[in-house]
Structure 1
Amino acid sequence: MRAEDVRQRLTTPLTGPAYAPTVPRFTDREYLNVVYRTDPDALRAVVPEPLRIGEPLVRFEVMKMGDVTGYGPYTEAGQAIPVSLEGEHGEYLHAMYLDNFPATASGREVSAYPKVLGSPSLTVDSGALVGTLDHGSLRVATATMGYKHHELDRREARAQITVPTFMLKTVPGYDGLPRVQELVRTRITDVTVKEAWTGPARLQLFAHVLAPLADLPVLEVVSASHIVTDLTLNGVEPVHDYLKGAGS
């Protein structure tokens, strides 16, 4: 294979990439969102500068992907933290766990999503929408919400899921030092909200050393939503380079 051919292949392995070379389109992406108040000191310990924290809030999410081009159906769960950067309000993606390796590899390599493998689920059980996350055989999160108790304004639902999203991209070098370390930004713009609901909710987080969601403890549930959408994820853009000027 010629060097120029190698340069045109941006995935690993070289001849059998882990994910499809396509921009994924999500059809019937179903969200369970539970926003809760947490310990502000715990937030400050995990949110990188130059992002700023306002209220000490966290959004626990479970997303059931009905169909995704290139990946097929899968489920994902994680935590997002409301932040601001230079006056722009958004969310910092703190943790993401999913049951699809191609989507995990693509999210980490092509973008900066903090994805690792886990076993999330989103089901309806006896009048409750139930989102769970397991790591191995152990439960690390359980969220419950009254199933379709009250309609949520679709404009509000759209606003919830289209805020700017910030992520930390780190690529280690062969010497053990970071080769790339950037704060990046993206935003969902191509979205259609099909259903939107709200209702009472509860959230339990269980301590696990390899899935430390409980390090951001639940002090009070603030709000919850259940949203069904079609959407396409945008690419990312760097907004801060941690290595620029380092060592100078």
Structure 2
Amino acid sequence: MRMQDLAQKLTTPLDAPAFLRGPYRFTDRTYLTITYRTDPRALERVVPPPLKVLDPTVRFEVMRMPDVTGLGDYTEAGQAISVEYEGERGEFNLAMYVDSFPAIASGREIGAFPKKLGSPRLIVDSDTLVGTLDYGSLRVATATMGYKHAPLDADQARDELCSATFMLKLLPGYDGEPRISELVRTQIKDITVKGAWTGPARLQLFHHALAPLADLPVLDVLAASHVLTDLTLGPADVVHDYLTH
């Protein structure tokens, strides 16, 4: 292999890369989102500075992605916390549980998505939209929503999905000390909302040592949405380098 050939490689193994180069286009990406109020003290323990917690609200999401260029078919679930950064309101993406290794590897390596292995599902059970997350063989989250009970304004759905998202990029060096320690920002801008609905919803979180979603307890369900989209993820940009500040 020539040096110029190696410079064009994105990831390893060299002869069978873990994922292909993006951007990734999502067709019929479906969201079930439950927004809930939680204990503000629990948020303070997991939100890093310079982000600020304004409202003690969390979004639990299950995202069904049946058609993704380069990545195929997979599902994600996770929690995002309402925050502010230098006057801009957005969300801190705390954790994502994913059932696809290429999606995990590309999300972590190309971006800063906090992905780890899990078993999320999004299904319709009779008249109910159901999102679940299992970690190993144990259930850690169950979300239910009345199926398409009422239309949701497309602009409201777009605003919900296109808010600024902040994430941590943490990578150690070979000596065990931090090599990358950054706060990054990303935002979805290329999106088509193909359908949006709301309805009654409930969310149960179950305690687990390695999937601690229940550490942000559900005190009150505030809103729920079911949104069908086509979209392309935006790039990630560094907004704060912890190693230089």
User: Normalization by structure 2: what TM-score?
Assistant: 0.98
Is 1:203 the counterpart of 2:231 in the alignment?
no
Is the CA contact 2:97–2:118 (under 8 Å) kept in the aligned structure 1? Answer: yes
Is the CA contact 2:10–2:21 (under 8 Å) kept in the aligned structure 1? Answer: no
1:16: how far off? 1.4
Is 1:186 the counterpart of 2:194 in the alignment?
no
After the TM superposition, list the runs of 4 or more consecutive aligned residues in structure 1 that deviate by more than 4 angstroms: none
Unaligned runs of 5+ in 2: none
Percent identical residues: 66
- Matched to 2:48, the amino acid is P
Q: Structure 2 CA distance, aligned partners of 1:37 and 1:12? A: 42
Q: Structure 1 CA distance, aligned partners of 2:12 and 2:171? A: 15
**Which of 12-21 and 207-216 deviates more?**
12-21
- Matched to 2:102, the amino acid is P
* 1:86-105 matched pairs, under 5 angstroms: 86-105=86-105
Q: Structure 1 CA distance, aligned partners of 2:47 and 2:107? A: 20
Q: Structure 1 CA distance, aligned partners of 2:7 and 2:129? A: 47
1:22: how far off? 2.6
Q: Structure 2 CA distance, aligned partners of 1:229 and 1:93? A: 20
Identify the residue that residue 59 of structure 2 maps to in structure 1.
59
Q: Structure 2 CA distance, aligned partners of 1:4 and 1:27? A: 34
User: Normalization by structure 1: what TM-score?
Assistant: 0.97
* 1:164-175 matched pairs, under 5 angstroms: 164-175=164-175
RMSD, aligned α-carbons: 0.8
* SS in structure 2 at match of 1:139: strand
Q: Structure 2 CA distance, aligned partners of 1:52 and 1:22? A: 31
Q: In the comparison of the two structures, how many residue pairs are matched?
A: 245
1:143: how far off? 0.2
Identify the residue that residue 77 of structure 1 maps to in structure 2.
77
Q: Structure 2 CA distance, aligned partners of 1:140 and 1:12? A: 32
1:4: how far off? 3.0
- Matched to 1:38, the amino acid is T
Q: Give a deviation string over 1:19-76, Cα, whole Å, max 9, x none.
A: 1123110000000000011110100000000001111000000000121000111111
Unaligned runs of 5+ in 1: none
* 1:1-248 matched pairs, under 5 angstroms: 1-245=1-245
